[in-house]
Structures are given as C-alpha cells and as structure tokens.
Amino acid sequence: MPVTTPGAPFDPIEIFRALYERASRTCVDADAMVLATVDPDGRPSARYVLLKGFDARGFVFYTNVESRKGRALAARPDAALCFYWAPLERQVRIEGRAELVSDAEADAYFETRPRESQIGAWASAQSEPLESRALLEQRAAEVRARFAGRPVPRPPFWSGYRVVPRAIEFWTRGAGRLNERERYEREGGGWVRRLLYP
C-alpha cells in the first residue's frame, strides 16, 4: 500500500543524506556512483562518476559535455545513478532527468579543483580516440604554458549535470536474500513510498 510522504522522516533526500554521511565515514570512495545513460540509438552505457553535491534539487556531477556521456544526455536526458556501499550492505538507485547546472555553479566548483585537474580538463578531448599517451602529455604541457602565472578558467565544454530525481530506491541486504527495498516516487508535490518484493 503506497504511503504519501511529503516530508521527514519519509523524505528520501534526507534518508540519502544520513546514509551518505555514514558511508563517508566507513567506505572508500563513498562518492563514487554509476551513471547510466542511453544514446540516441537506444544503446545503454554506464560508468563511474563522482557525486559533487546534492540537495532537494538533485544530485550533481561534473564532466566534459562533449564526452560520450555528455552527448547521450544532450540527446536523451534521462539518467540513472547507483551507489553501492558494501560495508553498510546498502545500495541506492536514483532515476531522473539530467539538466546542466548554472554557469555560476560550474565556475565555482571548477575553481576548487586542483590546478592539474583544471589543466587536464582543457587537455583531454574526452571519449575521442587518442593516438598516444605522449600526445595527451604534450597537450597538457601546452595548457600549462598557456595559463602560466594565472588562474585556469573553466573550459566552455566542461560543466556539471544535476540529476533531478523522479524515483529513489533504497536497498538493504537481508538474511536469505530477503532484502529490503523501499522505493520513493514523486507524485504531485511530494513523495510516495512503496515497499517492493526483493
């Protein structure tokens, strides 16, 4: 039986926040999440990205918008995220629509990155064929020289995405594979919670 859950303690963002804080204390790379996308031809692709922020609006990661994932999201912005925290025996799945963050948000985050990571963002034509490692290192050296003695600005092809959730599912390992699954779905102005069979 669905239960309407407009706020705490049934707010899935707050449930995620509590779990994420626990995972950050006990798990290596607690911010690593699988991002799944679908390209214009309907072919799925998944890869790990890093969670860089979340709030009631959604879950944020940053990347080259001209990369394979960026092209997929431009054509078809539906996305799914998945966290698995083995020490907690917990998994979180998020489904939603990806939208670009504002330029101000992207600029602010880019400024916090280590300088070499900023240089790498300029040097890498992410997802494109690379002739040799030496060429990548040469491109990085050219970027270092170009911005020597001054801040590295955010590349115009680099930004962030916010996955605005329409569903969030929490999985907890149970004895005998009788795992617990709680799924929250947006309906109207709030969330509806359902238990699912494992």
Whether the pLDDT of residue 11 is over 90: the answer is: yes
DSSP, collapsed to helix, strand or coil, labels residue 116 as: helix
Residues 138 and 182: their CA atoms lie apart, in Å, by: 50
Active site residues: 177
Task: Measure CA 115 to chain center.
Answer: 22
Q: What is the pLDDT of residues 57-100, one digit of tens each?
A: 999 999 999 999 999 999 999 999 999 999 999 999 999 999 99
Instruction: Tell me the mean pLDDT in the region 167-179.
Output: 96
- What is the pTM assigned to this prediction? 0.92
Q: What is the pLDDT of residues 106-164, one digit of tens each?
A: 999 999 999 999 999 999 999 999 999 999 999 999 999 999 999 999 999 999 999 99
Q: How far is CA 113 from the centre of its chain?
A: 17
pLDDT score at 10: 79
Asked if residue 1 has pLDDT above 60, the reply is no
Contact by Cβ (8 Å): 184, 163: no
